[in-house]
Structure 1
Amino acid sequence: MRAPFRFPEDLITLQRAWQQTYADLAQAPAGTSTTALRRRLISLSGRLCTHPYWTQPAGWRSGSVELRRAAHTHTRTEREAAA
């Protein structure tokens, strides 16, 4: 069994921002300008892909799915704590 991934907080925060921006873009009403959201998504994607964490041996392929799960879990845990 593989050890769980340990992601830096700034990487999880970046992933959460990406997921939120993606959701905002998907929810944008037809006919509204989405240029700012699309540009933000592109910027966040670049920052995610070039984060120093990915230079470690674990690599992007094996860690990208786990990062999305960690960001989702982190968000869900924060919501439960606030309730």
Structure 2
Amino acid sequence: MESIPFPDDLVQAQRLWFATYRELAAPRPRRTTALRRRLLALSVRLQWHPFWSTPPGRGPGARVELRRLARRQEQYGRRSAAG
């Protein structure tokens, strides 16, 4: 699949969304209200980002590709930090 040129702030928001979700899904999380609010704010930022109005953003699978890219970056970042 051809790589989509996602804006850095959009990729960062997706990565923060994943991190917040993981923190909220952990056993007995603390600050659940704050985490839920942050997850909601990130969801809104992701949903209404101006990128989705551009031709690459309107393409089929663009949102899925964003999630895949953010996951790959997270996995690479975690491996780099551990090694």
Q: Which bin holds the TM-score, normalised by the shorter protein?
A: 0.7 to 0.9
1:59 Cα deviation from its structure 2 partner: 1.9
CA RMSD of aligned residues (A): 2.1
Asked if 1:21 is matched to 2:24, the reply is: no
Structure-to-structure mapping, 1:11-50, within 5 angstroms:
11-29=10-28, 33-50=31-48
Aligned length: 81
* Percent of residue pairs bearing the same amino acid type: 43
> In structure 2, how many angstroms separate the alpha carbons of the residues matched to 1:60 and 1:42?
25
TM-score, normalising length: structure 2: 0.82
1:60 Cα deviation from its structure 2 partner: 7.3
**Partner AA of 1:59 in structure 2:** R
TM-score, normalising length: structure 1: 0.82
> In structure 2, how many angstroms separate the alpha carbons of the residues matched to 1:60 and 1:20?
26
Runs of 4+ in 1 over 6 A off after TM superposition: none
